[in-house]
Amino acid sequence: MNNIADISTAFGDARATDQSVIRQRTLKSSIGCAGVGLHSGHKIQITLHPAPADHGIVFRRVDLAGAPLIPARFDRVVDTRLCTCIGDAATGIKIGTIEHLMAALAGQRIDNALIDIDADEIPVMDGSSAPFTFLIDCVGVEELDAPRMVIEVLKPVEIEHNGCRVAVEPANGFHIDFEIEFASKAIANQRLDVSFGDGIFVNNLARARTFGFLHEVEAMRAAGLALGGSLDNAVVLSGDEVMNEEGLRYEDEFVRHKILDALGDLYTAGHQLQGKVTAYKSGHMLNNMLLQKMFADEDAWRFIPMRSSRAVRPEPASTPVLATA
């Protein structure tokens, strides 16, 4: 059953006979938007299209000959510096900064979509996932006649690197417990434990923006990066001060955005996880390394259909996010 390349026929009988099985979802219709690339500063257009069952999340570079397809998969990640970048190592074709859009798709439970893009990075929009969740809300979602599969974690898997750590262990439902620590007093130590369910992502995480320090932004621009970055699409800190005039959207916006990033990175598994992720100062590289290590061990995971009677069922929208500091 542990065949990540082809599970389209797994549990096929459940489609017609088991009403407890939750169905896959896609968009009801196509919708697009335009924005600037965080690193290039160029205007970029993307269009989200509905896709059939078992299609997954796939990007299409419509600006290139043949409009090559790139699945949003952990094994297609080619770079994790500053963002998660998928591509084809042989041809050099890539698409960067996919994590905020992937988080929106995961948070809104979109299993299948074809995404056209005319550049090599997703537009940064306001630095959060909120503009992408808005697009999904505008067109709505459609259920498909196929069971939604989740990846059940069967045993703990852990990655440690340079004092940073991320691990996943068996659990009912899907949870991310994330802790960050910075010298800046504006961030300091923040920790948040999120149990995902209906409404949790949109209400508590989607608006959390990416962040960085002024001296880092200046260094990246000198290297030809972050050319599209501004106070309109990121929280920028100078020492212990937040430079954005409007301040923060959440008191702990920084750790919320790190959970948002992790959600998007982990959705490159191809399916939602059923397990608990615990992270300390993790980032794109470690998030991808965790998936690589988990999938390399066939005893660590299995595919199961998502059922309404299981604890993995989405909770009501009023369920709070649990936080500790």
* Strand pairing class (149-153; 273-280): parallel
Across the beta sheet with 241-242, the strand order is: 211-213, 235-238, 241-242
**284 part of the active site:** yes
Give buried/exposed letters for 162-196 (b at 16+ CB in 10 A, else e): eeebbbbeebebbbbbbbbebeeebbeebbbbbbb
Tokens of 152: 């059940």
Catalytic annotation, pick one of 55, 100, 271, 284? 284
Q: CA nearest 231: which of 134, 127, 82, 130? A: 127
Active site residues: 284
